[in-house]
Amino acid sequence: MKKIKLILELFAAVSVATFTGCGDDDEGPASLTIVSLAASGTDVESGDAVTGIDLNGTTSAEKVPTDLTISVEFSRNVDATSVSSSAIELTDGTTPVSVNASVNGAVVTLTPTTELIRGTNHTISLMSSIVAEDGGTFESISRSFKTGGRLPVVPPNAESQIAYWKFDGDATEENGNYDADAVVNIEFATDRFGQAGGTAKFDGDASIIEVNNAADLMVERSGWTISLWMKIDTLDNLNAGGTGNAGQFVFGLGAFFGFRMETKGTASNFSLANRWEIAPEGEEPITRNEGF
């Protein structure tokens, strides 16, 4: 009986050893997972630098910077060759956003090549083509977030616009034809929607934005429309004598011929004056001045 028992025990031990050895051969490297997915950048409303915005939470992140950088920390080192343009996808719902990616060990840094649209839902997707250095595979994920600020206003009749200045942090013209060539004493301040740097603030004295080739806007047209938004300081904007509010030049087009807009000191009304020259056939030019 002792002999039989010894043989059975030896057989059981060998069987266990054989089973364990087969498991080691089949296991392979563990899956690659995400430890954290976070954004940093400039807060749209305050203009302050912010970091550590969690994009991997159970709910979609809100008020994410439009100039964001995304840091993705994986469970271990990532094969840099697997982080290609096809492995990363960022969209604003319909339009893809180009992204540059860099790998440093287990951390992948993603930087959009253009600033994201304010107040818009975006989706960042990491594809299963990403792998670990040891060959561990990754299961693709998608995370959504919303950028801070107010969705940019689409002006009426945008398709017919000749020129459009938003003054959203700079004095560029949206159609690319009439960028300002002189920006003097201008502060880009918080606008009426709480957007940091979203409007141009003039000091009422030396501030001016000049567009050198604006004379091109004076070509003959059957009609035109000017639309603008402004807020006037009627408390601290005193005239030279300190006896009342000073009127302000708002904008103008042309030096000797063209038009200009000015406001009264109380901001209760404004004037829009224009001056042009016509030349009837065979006659000397006649200068016309009108305003209201």
Tens of pLDDT, residues 130-142: 999 999 999 999 9
Q: Which domains does the chain have, with CATH numbers?
A: 34-147 (2.60.40.1220), 158-291 (no CATH)
Task: Using DSSP bridges, classify how beta strands 121-126 and 141-147 pair: parallel, antiparallel or unpaired.
Answer: antiparallel
What digits encode the pLDDT tens for the residues 199-214? Answer: 999 887 889 999 888 7
- For 70, residues 6+ apart whose C-beta sits below 8 A from its C-beta are 37, 38, 39, 55, 109, 110, 111, 124
Q: What is the pLDDT of residue 65?
A: 96
Q: What is the pLDDT of residue 19?
A: 43
Task: Using DSSP bridges, classify how beta strands 88-91 and 286-291 pair: parallel, antiparallel or unpaired.
Answer: unpaired
| CA–CA separation, 251 and 105 (whole Å) | 55
Q: Span 24-53, mean pLDDT?
A: 89
Q: Across the strands, what pairs with 36? A: 73
Q: Across the strands, what pairs with 142? A: 125
Q: What is the pLDDT of residue 233?
A: 78
Query: Does residue 279 register a pLDDT over 80?
Result: no
Lowest mean pLDDT among 148-152, 169-173, 279-283: 279-283
Lowest mean pLDDT among 102-106, 126-130, 161-165, 258-262: 258-262
- For 53, residues 6+ apart whose C-beta sits below 8 A from its C-beta are 38, 39, 40, 61, 64, 65, 68
Per the prediction, the chain carries an average pLDDT of: 83
Q: What is the pLDDT of residue 99?
A: 97
pLDDT band at 290 (very low <50, low <70, confident <90, very high): low
Q: State residue 268 phi and psi, 5-degree precision.
A: -85, -20
Query: Does residue 83 register a pLDDT over 90?
Result: yes
* Residue of 191, 112, 188 lying closest to 147 (CA atoms): 112
Per DSSP, 69 falls in state: E
pLDDT band at 288 (very low <50, low <70, confident <90, very high): low
Q: What is the pLDDT of residue 12?
A: 44
- Is the full-model pTM beyond 0.85? no
CB 186 within 8 A of CB 201: yes
* Residue of 97, 96, 89, 86 lying closest to 129 (CA atoms): 86
